[in-house]
Amino acid sequence: MIPQKLNPEDEIRIIAPSSSLTRVRPDIYDSAFTFLKDKGFNITFSKNCRETNMFLSSSIRSRVDDIHEAFADKNVKAVMACIGGFNANEILPYLDYELIRANPKILCGYSDITALLNAVYAKTGLVTYHAPHLAALGFLNEREYTEKYFSECIMSDASFAVTPSVASQSYTVIQKGKCEGEIIGGNLCTLNLLQGTPYMPEIENRVLFLEDDNIMGDYFVCEFDRNLQSLLQISGADTIRGIVFGRFDESCKMTEDIVKAIVKDKVSPDIPIVFGVDFGHVFPMFSFPIGGRVRLSVNNSIDLKIIEH
């Protein structure tokens, strides 16, 4: 189920399903708000998005109420997280998925919002969007690139090819091959929180889009390695059709050789795998649909195309 695309003058409701809006720096907030207003959108805020507790978030009830209100409001056409955080998975058992299914609309964010995006897709079949949250739209790093793919993914029905940003320069071939399939993924360590719950989407025959943030310091590579292994031990993971790894922050020290060593013996050598694609905790970023479809061809060059979103 694909929600109606966003148009200028549509209302975007900003919510805080993880950390509070108060965590967004004032200059970043101003930049993002101005950017969205200049695009012609009507920006509104959920009533509890500035509530803050000891976990830099708000109560489960406040967050759930805000999400339900946003989906029930016929004037709201898109629901955008204000920022990521650490505890979006807390709210998953309390959401009214029938309400969400009955009122399909764009839901977007990334990082910790990975839990919400994949859970909503798993429980309702609604395609959600791994795309900039409010704070991410406030950063100026090649913002034209971020804007281009936000528009192509969320404001248009047409398929679109993904090409490297100036920051990325080029994507890296890890394994050659071709595939087409539905996308699941996002932030790896957050996605793994859904394992064994009703909120984990099916992994069979999917194409994985995976990234992670460096919160482990010098142990990042080891942590990413074991997190990927955990995901690939889920029943059905041996049928995945391809993997697209995001672009990692320089502090992660992820290289082509390290990625090749990580995937060796974990997946079939016949599936396409690419590394350094413009999404994750980096800027700029492209937007992609959780539950949408991708076509990936990896040979001496990389052809990555979002064909259903």
Residue found under tokens 């409010």: 134
Residue found under tokens 């993914």: 153
Residue found under tokens 């087409």: 180
CB 30 within 8 A of CB 62: no
Residue 241: strand, helix, or coil: coil
**Which of 20, 46, 133, 281 is labelled catalytic?**
281
CA 155 to each of CA 10, 40, 88, 262: distance values in angstroms, whole numbers, following the listed order: 11, 13, 26, 36
Residue-level length of the chain: 309
What is the C-alpha to C-alpha distance for residues 230 and 223, in angstroms, rounded to an integer? Answer: 11
CB neighbour burial string for 228-249, b if at least 16 within 10 angstroms, e if fewer: beebbebeebeebbbbbbbbbe
CB-based contacts of 203, cutoff 8 Å, min separation 6: 184, 231, 234, 236, 237, 239, 240
The phi and psi torsions of 106 (rounded to 5 degrees) equal -65, 135
211 is catalytic: yes
309 is catalytic: no
The pair of structure tokens assigned to 12 is 């975007």
Report the Cα 169 to chain-centroid distance in Å.
Answer: 22
Angle, vertex CA 129, rays to CA 63 and CA 282, nearest 5: 95
The pair of structure tokens assigned to 306 is 């979002």
**Which of 19, 46, 58, 111 is labelled catalytic?**
111
202 is catalytic: no
**Which of 62, 133, 211, 287 is labelled catalytic?**
211
Q: Count other Cβ atoms within 10 Å, centred on residue 8.
A: 9
Annotated active-site positions, please? 111, 211, 281
